Every structure is written in structure tokens, then in C-alpha cells.
């Protein structure tokens, strides 16, 4: 696992040190608390659409912000 692989981290894994060590880039790491059911629903969307967790959450957030 490298510090540049956005989707290489396991759910619940502590990534603060890795994120802090990264060179400044155009992205940021965001930590959000979700219920187990919410995570399961998001993972199902990922599986059905063949997308990463980051892609699904990012797309959903951007859609909500555009409303």
C-alpha cells in the first residue's frame, strides 16, 4: 500500500499519519462516521456499479452540493 493509492485503505483504518506525510496535493482525506447499515448500502452501490468507495461517496457529495 502506498500513500498515493486513494482506495487502498481499509474501512476504519487509521490514515492520519499517512495523509499528513503526503506532499501537498489537490486532494484531501475526510473522515466521516457512518452506521454499519449506511456503509453496507454504500458498498452495495460500489459493487453494483463497479466503482470504488471514494468514487461513489465523492459523486454523491458533489450531487448533493449541486442541489
5-29 pLDDT, tens digit per residue, is: 556 666 666 766 666 665 667 888 8
DSSP state letter for 22: S
How far, in Å, CA of 25 to CA of 48, rounded?
A: 30
This prediction has a pTM of: 0.59
Which residue has cell 452506521?
35
For residue 1, the model assigns a pLDDT of 39
Residue 62 has pLDDT above 90, yes or no: yes
Residues 53 and 46 sit within 8 Å (Cβ to Cβ)? yes
Distance of alpha carbon 57 from the chain centroid: 6
- In whole angstroms, how far apart are CA 10 and each of 24, 26, 34, 52, 53? 22, 22, 14, 12, 10
Amino acid at each position: 500500500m502506498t500513500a498515493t493509492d486513494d482506495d487502498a485503505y481499509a474501512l476504519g483504518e487509521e490514515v492520519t499519519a499517512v495523509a499528513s506525510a503526503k506532499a501537498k496535493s489537490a486532494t484531501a482525506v475526510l473522515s466521516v462516521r457512518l452506521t454499519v447499515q449506511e456503509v453496507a448500502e454504500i458498498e452495495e452501490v460500489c459493487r453494483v456499479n463497479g466503482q470504488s468507495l471514494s468514487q461513489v461517496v465523492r459523486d454523491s457529495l458533489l450531487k448533493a452540493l449541486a442541489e
